[in-house]
């Protein structure tokens, strides 16, 4: 399991410590030891630091445990407090797979299968089994966090969501038409698609399966290291799989249709509610939370298909649930009898790897009120924004280099953004 460490401070403080490693005896793979190191850093330098994990999807079940810690010890109050304190965000999407949701865990979510890497662990030395998935994917972790909060008083998985490249070449080139690969070995060339990224008796993961993703968006007051760190610490962040979408998400009890006419969504949002990453305030009797969500597409990217709100909650019997609501969509589509919004269609031309913004909408905005709100149930809400279908990065390679489409590779995909959730906890 990997964790990234971010310092709020400059070199004058950060250089006072040696980077922590997982190597025994000085380092350790136990996250609690890393937290100890971070605690020492803050005590020694009066600075601030945080850690965040990535690639839960390759952790074979141990990224978001519910019963046993990494060391095998039972998950206790100390563990959940420490994890909540030091890991405010999670890297939910990157080149080595997308980790928001998995179709096995979310069978009712037709968009759950995006950039799924589920053959095994990182080097495929151990195969994946279905029972591991619950400990790997962000949505399931958000749900299990509610459960652990009920049990131990703190939600260890109350994290914001960011994306990152994890590229080893210092390039943020994760748009489909500029994908520069995981590392220098996968820079654009005619052979890269068919090269095995990882191979073992448990299967082969081909290089075309790299996901051209993602980016971290941060709602900070200033473009300074300290301001960005503080925004990440309060989880006012969102992830995209590459496009530079602008996404706002606020929760409160007073949002109305009139707010949609406003051009200053943020002013209304902060005045009447809380932003992504925060906790809802106490409702008055009979109130249900409403959410102001607005998304603007990448200025040079694809139009938007729809905005969804994903709700997870814990019922009175201690069971977790999830539901995906379509809340705003393009082209005046009408829901079918089952309440489903039909697909937006596709403009992807496979022979030239092109698409057109003749479908979808440049921006979507709405106020959505939870129709199933129960003030006695712990819950979280986050927004997912879907683009219209566009060609995946390997289709650009196919056209550019004149090579064959890899076997089993889809010829289109829908890029997306995931906001950090807004949480609701019953009083008492």
Residues whose CB is less than 8 angstroms from the CB of residue 153 and which lie 6 or more positions away in sequence, other chains included: 77, 80
To the nearest whole angstrom, how small is the minimum distance from the Cβ of residue 245 to other proteins?
A: 10
Closer Cβ to other proteins, 118 or 305, answer by number: 305
**Nearer residue to other proteins within complex by CB, 262 or 323:** 262
Instruction: Tell me: does residue 296 bind other proteins (CB under 8 A).
Output: yes
Residue closer to other proteins by CB (options 261, 427) is 261
Which H or E run contains 379? strand 379-387
CA distance 230 to 6: 11
Show contacts with other proteins in window 364-383 (CB under 8 A): 365
**Rounded alpha-carbon distances, angstroms, from residue 344 to 218, 304, 334, 368:** 29, 9, 11, 21
Distance of alpha carbon 423 from the chain centroid: 16
Among residues 11, 12, 18, 170, which is the contact residue for other proteins, using CB under 8 A? 18
- Is 333 a binding residue for other proteins by CB under 8 A? The answer is no
User: By C-beta, is 116 or 330 nearer to other proteins?
Assistant: 330
Q: Is residue 13 close enough to count as binding other proteins by CB under 8 A? A: no
CA distance 380 to 21: 34
Give yes or no for residue 127 binding other proteins (CB under 8 A). no
β-strands 160-163, 89-94: how paired? parallel
| Binding residue (CB under 8 A) for other proteins from 45, 227, 354, 357 | 357
Which listed range, 153-161, 184-192, 294-302, 384-392, lies at the site for other proteins (CB under 8 A)?
A: 294-302
| Residue 109 or 259 having the CB closest to other proteins | 259
**DSSP characters over 172-218:** ---SGGG---SSGGGSS-TTGGGSEEEEETTEEEEGGG-----EEEE
Q: Is 40 in the site for other proteins (CB under 8 A)?
A: no
Judged by CB under 8 A, the residue of 262, 272, 323, 333 near other proteins is 262
Stretch that binds other proteins, among 6-14, 125-133, 292-300, 386-394 (CB under 8 A): 292-300
**Least Å from the CB of residue 419 to other proteins:** 14
Q: Which of 295, 304, 299 is CA-nearest to residue 260? A: 295
3-state secondary structure of 144: helix
Q: By CB under 8 A, is residue 324 in contact with other proteins?
A: no
Rounded to a whole number of angstroms, the minimum distance from the CB of residue 385 to other proteins is 12
Block residue for tokens 């979408």: 245
Beta bridge partners of 246: 296
Pairing mode, strands 290-296 and 363-369: antiparallel
Per DSSP bridges, beta strands 49-54 and 89-94 are parallel
Closest separation in Å from C-beta 263 to other proteins: 5
Instruction: Examine residue 261 and tell whether it contacts other proteins (CB under 8 A).
Output: yes
Any contact of residue 225 with other proteins (CB under 8 A)? no
| Cα dist from 10 to 37, 86, 146, 404, whole Å | 18, 19, 36, 48
38, 161, 215, 265: which one contacts other proteins (CB under 8 A)? 265
State in angstroms the smallest separation of the CB of 269 from other proteins: 11
Determine which residue in the list 1, 14, 48, 260 makes contact with other proteins, applying CB under 8 A. Answer: 260
> What span, in angstroms and rounded, lies between the C-alpha atoms of 428 and 426?
6
59, with CB counted inside 10 A (0-12, 13-18, 19+), is buried
Q: Work out how close the CB of 174 gets to other proteins at its nearest, in angstroms, rounded to a whole number.
A: 17
List interacting residues with other proteins (CB under 8 A): 16-18, 246, 248, 260-263, 265, 294-297, 299-300, 357, 361-363, 365
């Amino acid at each position: 399991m990997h964790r990234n460490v971010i310092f709020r401070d400059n070199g004058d403080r950060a250089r006072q410590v040696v980077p922590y490693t997982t190597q025994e005896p000085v380092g350790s793979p136990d996250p609690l030891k890393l937290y100890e190191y971070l605690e020492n850093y803050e005590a020694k330098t009066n600075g601030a630091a945080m850690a965040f994990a990535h690639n839960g999807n390759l952790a074979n079940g141990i990224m978001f445990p519910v019963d046993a810690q990494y060391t095998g010890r039972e998950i206790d109050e100390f563990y959940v407090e420490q994890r909540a304190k030091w890991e405010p965000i999670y890297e939910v999407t990157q080149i080595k797979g997308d980790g928001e949701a998995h179709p096995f865990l979310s069978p009712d979510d037709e968009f759950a299968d995006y950039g799924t890497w589920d053959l095994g662990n990182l080097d495929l030395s151990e195969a994946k089994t279905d029972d591991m998935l619950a400990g790997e994917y962000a949505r399931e972790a958000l749900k299990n966090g509610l459960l652990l909060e009920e049990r131990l008083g703190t939600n260890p998985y109350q994290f914001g969501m960011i994306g990152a490249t994890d590229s080893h070449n210092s390039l943020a080139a994760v748009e489909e038409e500029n994908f520069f690969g995981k590392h220098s070995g996968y820079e654009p060339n005619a052979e890269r698609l068919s090269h095995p990224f990882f191979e073992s008796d448990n299967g082969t993961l081909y290089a075309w399966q790299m996901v051209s993703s993602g980016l971290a968006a941060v709602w900070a007051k200033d473009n300074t290291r300290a301001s960005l760190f503080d925004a990440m610490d309060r989880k006012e962040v969102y992830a995209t799989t590459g496009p530079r979408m602008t996404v706002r998400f606020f929760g409160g009890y007073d949002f109305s249709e009139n707010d949609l006419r406003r051009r200053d969504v943020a002013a209304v949002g902060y005045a009447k509610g809380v932003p992504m990453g925060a906790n809802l305030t106490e409702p008055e009797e009979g109130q249900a939370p409403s959410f102001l969500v607005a998304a603007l597409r990448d200025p040079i990217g694809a139009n938007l298909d729809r905005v969804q709100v994903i709700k997870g909650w814990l019922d009175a019997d201690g069971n977790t649930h999830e539901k995906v609501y379509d809340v705003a969509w393009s082209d005046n589509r009408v829901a079918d009898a089952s309440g489903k919004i039909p697909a937006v269609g596709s403009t992807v031309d496979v022979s030239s790897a092109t698409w057109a913004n003749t479908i979808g909408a440049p921006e979507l905005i709405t106020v959505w009120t939870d129709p199933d709100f129960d003030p006695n149930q712990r819950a979280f809400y986050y927004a997912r924004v879907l683009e219209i279908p566009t060609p995946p990065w390997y289709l650009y390679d196919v056209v550019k280099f004149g090579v064959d489409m890899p076997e089993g590779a889809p010829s289109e995909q829908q890029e997306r953004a995931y906001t950090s959730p807004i949480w609701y906890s019953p009083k008492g």
